[in-house]
Amino acid sequence: MPGTTTLAAIKDLRDRIDYHNHQYFVLDAPELSDSQYDELMLELRSLESEHPELVTPDSPTQRVGAEPLEGFTQAEHPVPLLSLGNAFDDEEFMAWHARVADLLEEPQFDMVCELKFDGLAVALTYEDGLLTRGATRGNGVVGEDVTSNMRTIRSIPLRVPAAAPRRFEVRGEVIFPKSKFEAFNEQRIADGLPPYAHPRNTAAGSVRQLDPRTTAERPLDIFVYSLGYAEPMEFDTHWQTLSGLAALGFKTNPHSRLVHTPNEALDYCKTWVEGWENLDYGCDGVVVKVNRFDYQRHLGVVGREPRWAIAYKFPATQATTQLLDIAVNVGRTGSINPYAVLEPVNINGVTVRQATLHNADYIRSKDLRIGDWVVVERAGEVIPQVVSSIVSKRTGNERAFEMPEICPSCDEPVVRAEGEAAHLCVNAACPAQLVRLLEHFVSRGAMDIEGLGIKQTTVLLEKGLIRQVADLYTLNKDDLLVLDRFGETSVANLLAAIEASKSRPFSRVLVAVGIQHVGSEVAELLARHFPNIDALMNASREELEAVQSIGPKIAEAVVAYFGNESNRAVIEKLRAVGVTMEAEQGEEPVEQVLEGLRFVVTGRLERFSRSEITGRIKDLGGAVSGSVSKKTDYLVAGEDAGSKLVDAENLGVPVITEDDFLDLVQSRSGET
Ligand code: IVH
C-alpha cells in the first residue's frame, strides 16, 4: 500500500503540472523553462511507475496512453450542433440585425463578436470533473468518438475544478497553427512523405487518426466558443459563458468582444477583414451572437440555423480555374519542383497565375491532370496552393503529368533518391541551381548581401563571371559595371556589402551554402557542436546524429554535401577569401537584460528583419509570442501594423518603435 505521503506527492505533482500546462498551452504565459517542466513530468512518471495502481485517467502522464483503434464509434450529440446563416456584406448583416430587433421588439441588444475559426468542430463532455468524451461534429446530430485524440491536445483540460457543473459539454474548434504548419510540412518532406496543402484539412485529418500517437505528434490547439449544455446551467449570457469557460481552464479566444450596437459589430468585422491574415490560425469570418440566452431562446432556430447568430464571411480566398500546364523549376539544392501554370484568376484582388505543386507525390495524391479545372487558394503570404481538382468537369482530354527525365536547365539526367519525395538534378554546375543558390546565399537570413537580385545574378552567370557562389568574393569593379543600371555608386555599395558579409557568423555561412535541410536553427546547432568548418566537414554520420535534434536525414545531407568535391571547392574558396569559418568562442555570455519581458513584433521594420529582432530579444533573455495578450509587455510595431496594434491598444499594452526598443535594451544594460 502506498503511504499517504506518496499519494499526496502524486497529487501535488499533478496539480503543479496542470497549472503549468494551463500557463503554457492556454494562457501562452509559461513560468517554467522546458527542462523544469520536464523534471516535474519525470518525477510524476517515476512515482506512477512505482505505484501503477495510482495512475488515473486524468493524470497529465495519460494524454497518450490509448491503443490504436480499428475504427471510430459513433457519438450521438444530446443537443445538436447547429450551423450558421451567412452575411456576405454589411447590408446583409444590417438586415439580420433589423430582423432580430423586430422579433425581440428591442431596437438595441448586446452581441458578442467572435472570430469564425477555420478548423474542425468538436464537442467535449465533462462529467464529475473529468473529460469523458470528445466527439467530432459529424452531421451535427451524430459525430465520431475521438476521445483518445482529444486527450492529446494539451490546451484541452483533462479535468476541471470542483466548481464546474456536474455534467456539461463544451464546443470549440480544433486548429493547426499556421506558424507550425510549414515546419511540419518540411519535416514530412524530409521524411519522404507528401506535404499537406492546408492547415484546416490537416487539423481535421489529425483529429481523425486511428492511432492517438500520431495525433499527439501534431501541434493541435483549440478555441472553445460555447456550452452545448450544462447541468446545472449557471450562465445567463454568452459573454458570461465565455469568461466562465476560461475560468474553468478552457482556452477561449482573446479577440472576442461584447458590443452594443450593430455599427460596433461592423467595426469589429472590418478590423478582421483586414487583419485575419496575420492570425496564427485559419479564420474565414466573424460570428456575431445575441448575448442574452433568454433572447436566444425567444429567437429560436429555423432548420439548422439559429436566428440569434450570424456568420459575417470574409471575401473568398478560393477560386476555380483551369490548370493549363505543369511546369518545373530547379531549386537551389537541385530539387526539380513542379508548379501549376494556371489560367489567370483573380482571388481577392490579386491575380494568380501559378501555384506550387511541391513534388510528384503531391500531384499524384491529388490526382491533378493537365487541363483539369482546379480549386486554387490564396491566403496571406502563403504561396498559392492547388487545393483539389474538380473531377466532374473532366472531358477526357486531360493528361497525366510526367516528371521530366532530364533537367530543364542543364539537360543532365534527373534522379530520384530512394525514400526521397523530390526528384533531383545532381549536376553541381547546373546554372538554374546556381541562380537559386545565389539568391539564397545573398538573402537576409544567410550572407545578407544587399543589391544583388535575381536579374543581376543571372547576368553575372551568363557572362561567366560567376561559376560558383564563392566567385562573388573575387568580383571587381569592372565586372560589376556590366550590369544594367549599375553605376559607380551602386557598384561601390555592392562591393562593400560583399566585403561586409565576410564577417557573418559561422552559422549564417552554414545556412548560406545551401545544405539540404539546414536552415537557421539546424545551422546554429551545428555551429555550437562543431566549432569550425574542418570539424564539421570531417564529422561522421554518427557524430552528427549524436547531436540532439539532428536526425538521420540531416546527418545524411551534411555528409553528402561535404562529400562532394565541388562543394568542398566552394568552402575552400570562401575560406581563402576570409569568410568566417569558425564559431565565435570565449565570448562573454550575453547579459539577459530582457529577462521576464514578453514581446510581440508586428508590421514592417526598418532596422531589423523579423528573425533578427526575435533572435535579439531571445538572446537577451526575453520571450516573443505571436499574438498580443494581457501578458504582453511590449508590442514592437513597424509600418503597416494591423490587428496586433488594435489588440495592443484595446488591452493597454505599450506600443514601441524599433528605436524605442533599442533604447529600452540600452537603458536596461545600464541598470545591471
Ligand atoms: S457557434 C449557432 N462560434 O462554424 C452556433 N461556431 O457554421 C454555431 N465555428 O461548424 C456554432 N468558429 O465549428 C460558433 N466562434 C464560433 C465559431 C464557430 C467557427 C464553426 C463551427 C461550425 C460552423 C457553424
Q: Say which residues have a Cβ less than 8 Å from residue 577's Cβ, sequence separation at least 6.
A: 470, 473, 474, 502
| Ligand 1 centroid – CA 620 distance (Å) | 41
Q: What cell numbers appear for 216 in the block?
A: 499527439
Are 386 and 366 in contact, with CB atoms under 8 Å apart? yes
Catalytic residue check, 463: no
- CA–centroid distance, residue 394 to ligand 1 (Å): 34
Atom of ligand 1 nearest to the CA of 137: 10
> For ligand 1, atom 17, which residue shows the shortest CA distance?
116
Query: Scanning the structure block, which residue is given the C-alpha cell 483539369?
Result: 372
314 lines ligand 1 (CB under 6 A): no
**pLDDT, position 157:** 97
Cα separation, 118 vs 377, whole angstroms: 14
Rounded average pLDDT over 648-656: 90
What angle (nearest 5°) sits at the alpha carbon of residue 310, between those of residues 305 and 314?
125
- Cα 83 to ligand 1 centroid, rounded to whole Å: 7
> What is the pLDDT averaged over residues 88-114?
96
The band of 586, judged by pLDDT with boundaries at 50, 70 and 90, is very low
Ligand 1 atom at minimal distance to the Cα of residue 116: 12
The 10s digit of each residue's pLDDT in 352-372 is: 999 989 889 899 999 999 999
Closest by CA to 607, choosing from 639, 631, 634, 629, is: 639
Spacing, Cα 172 to ligand 1 middle (Å) = 8
Question: For residues 594 and 672, is the Cβ–Cβ distance under 8 A?
Answer: no
Tell me the per-residue pLDDT of 48-75, one tens digit each, with 9 for 90 and over: 999 999 999 999 999 987 788 888 999 9
Give the distance (Å) from ligand 1 centre to CA of residue 287.
Answer: 7
Question: Which ligand 1 atom is nearest residue 114's CA?
Answer: 15
Return the exposure string of 510-519: e unless at least 16 CB atoms fall within 10 Å of the residue's CB, then b: bbbbbbbbbe
Residue written as grid cell 543581376: 456
Which set of grid coordinates corresponds to residue 190?
A: 524530409
Would you say the CB of residue 173 lies under 6 angstroms from ligand 1?
yes
Confidence tier at 317 by pLDDT (50, 70, 90): confident
Distance 174 CA to ligand 1 centre (A): 11
Tally of CA atoms within 13 A in the half-sphere of 527 that contains its CB: 21
pLDDT tens digits, one per residue of 400-415: 999 999 999 999 889 8
Ligand 1 centroid to Cα of residue 226, in Å, is 9
- Residue among 100, 124, 173 to mutate when testing ligand 1 (max atoms within 8 A of CB): 173
Q: Is 313 close to ligand 1, i.e. is its CB under 6 Å away? A: no
Q: Which residues pair with 321 in a beta bridge?
A: 374
Catalytic residue among 116, 178, 289, 644: 116
State the closest ligand 1 atom to the C-alpha of 253, by its place in the atom list counted from 1. Answer: 15
> All 3 cell numbers of residue 603?
508590421
Whole-model pTM: value is: 0.60
Residue range 3-24: average pLDDT? 92
By most ligand atoms within 8 Å of CB, the mutation choice from 136, 224, 225, 291 for ligand 1 is: 225
User: Among the atoms of ligand 1, which is closest to the Cα of residue 311?
Assistant: 7
Q: 614 Cβ partners below 8 Å, 6+ apart?
A: 601, 624
309 lines ligand 1 (CB under 6 A): yes
CB of residue 226 inside a 6 A radius of ligand 1: yes
Lowest mean pLDDT among 127-136, 182-191, 556-565, 568-577: 182-191
Ligand 1 atom 9: the closest Cα is on which residue?
116
167 C-alpha vs ligand 1 centroid, how far in Å?
22
Whole-angstrom Cα distance, residue 487 to residue 483?
9
Task: Tell me the percentage of the chain whose pLDDT exceeds 90.
Answer: 59
CA of 106 to the centre of ligand 1 (A): 25
Of all residues in the chain, the percent with pLDDT exceeding 70 is 97
Mutation test residue for ligand 1: of 81, 84, 139, the one with most atoms within 8 Å of CB: 84
Q: What pLDDT is attached to residue 639?
A: 85
Length of the chain: 672
Ligand 1, atom 23, lies closest to the CA of 83
Which atom number of ligand 1 is nearest to the Cα of residue 115?
15
Using the structure block, give the residue that is written with the C-alpha cell 530547379: 330
Ligand 1 lined by 116 (C-beta under 6 Å): yes
Is the pLDDT higher at 621 or at 497? 497
* Residue 589 pLDDT > 70: no
Answer yes or no: is the C-beta of 117 below 6 A from any ligand 1 atom: yes
- Which is the closest atom of ligand 1 to the Cα of 172? 13
Could you identify the atom of ligand 1 that is nearest to the CA of residue 256? Answer: 15
> Sorting pLDDT into bands at 50, 70 and 90, what band is 380?
low
* The pLDDT of residue 518: 87
Check pocket membership of 114 for ligand 1, CB cut-off 6 A.
Answer: yes
With a 6 Å cutoff on the Cβ, whether 83 touches ligand 1 is yes
Instruction: Establish whether residue 131 lines the binding site of ligand 1, counting it when its CB lies within 6 angstroms of any ligand atom.
Output: no
Residue 10: which pLDDT band, with cuts at 50, 70 and 90? very high
User: What burial class does residue 529 get, using C-beta atoms within 10 Å of its C-beta: 0-12 exposed, 13-18 middle, 19+ buried?
Assistant: middle
pLDDT at position 670, please?
A: 64
CB-ligand 1 contact for 118 (6 Å cutoff): no
Q: Are 206 and 176 in contact (CB under 8 A)?
A: yes
Q: Give tens-digit pLDDT for 226-270.
A: 999 999 988 999 999 999 999 999 999 999 999 999 999 999 999
Name the residue of 82, 115, 116, 295 whose CB sits within 8 Å of the most ligand 1 atoms, as the mutation to test its pocket: 116
- Residue 334 to residues 328, 409, 424, 442, Cα–Cα distance (Å): 12, 10, 5, 18
**Confidence tier at 2 by pLDDT (50, 70, 90):** low
Q: State the distance from the centre of ligand 1 to the C-alpha of 310, rounded, in angstroms.
A: 9
Residue with cell 497529465: 60
- Does ligand 1 have an atom closer than 6 angstroms to the CB of 168? no
pLDDT (average), residues 202-230 = 94
**What is the residue with the minimal CA distance to atom 13 of ligand 1?**
121
Q: Say if ligand 1 is within 6 A of residue 561 CB.
A: no
For the chain, percent helix, then strand, then coil, each to nearest 5? 40, 20, 40
Give the distance (Å) from ligand 1 centre to CA of residue 225: 8
Using the Cα atoms of residue 179, residue 207, residue 222 and residue 388 in order, give the sign of their dihedral: positive
